[in-house]
Amino acid sequence: MLANSLKPFDGENIVVFASGVSNSLETKDSEFDREIQLLRSTVEKFPNKKLIYFSTCSIYDLSKVESPYVMHKLKVEEIISKICPHYTIFRVGNAVGSGGNPNTLINFLENSIRNGQVISLHNKARRVLIGVDDIAKLVSQNLKSFDNKIVNVVYPHQFQLIEVVSTLEKHLQLKAKYELVDEGSAYNMEFDEIMKSYFQGISPEEYLQKLYTTYL
């Protein structure tokens, strides 16, 4: 989803690296090594281009800080800061788009509801979301102003999972089967003023509805 939405920005002075590990539950070293090798070869091939890399806001989730996926993303960020003369790292929330990876949060929830599967909802967990079209617009509007920086790209609100599911139920006109589990945590993160300005006037419920109407 990200690669397709950002294809127009790949150009003479910019290379968009959107070929990372797609499953946040991944544990295979071979998958992590593949991304690092591809990253290094891309930088060697385009040494004078500004590298755009997509990391994850899961870095701020205290329940995931020691997961292989998050540790890998932090390692890649460090490598980029050392080997790239010019870069921007966008830490993205849970991306929402049409089709794509079935492991993304919204795709997983939609498929589970449609198939009548029981979902375990961590009632202490919070998630940050953003549509792929908004990612593309935010990147295009701020690409030149961000150099050698890390930027959080999210709708500026931490959604409760029950909030996400209840709005999805209304959109699909289907009842979800779920059980509440006393686990999870909120993100220890701040929202950039650019994100607050971009999404000004759109309430969390309105944004959820917009995401579902646009992409599902």
pLDDT tens-digit readout, 94-111: 999 988 788 889 999 999
User: In CATH, what number is assigned to the domain containing residue 154?
Assistant: 3.40.50.720
Average pLDDT, the chain: 91
Give the residues across from 126 on adjacent strands: 160
Higher pLDDT, 65 or 36: 36
Strands (E), 25-145: 50-56, 87-92, 94-96, 118-122, 126-127, 129-131
Structure tokens belonging to residue 204: 């969390």
pLDDT grade, residue 181 (50/70/90)? very high
Total domains in the fold of the chain: 1
Helix 161-172 vs helix 105-114: crossing angle, to nearest 10: 50
DSSP-derived 3-state class of residue 16? strand
The CA distance from 156 to 140, in Å, is 19
Domain range enclosing 185:
2-215
Question: 185 pLDDT exceeds 90?
Answer: no
pTM of the model: 0.90
Q: Are 58 and 72 in contact (CB under 8 A)?
A: no
pLDDT tens-digit readout, 108-152: 999 999 999 999 999 999 999 999 999 999 988 888 788 999 999
Structure tokens belonging to residue 197: 């300005």
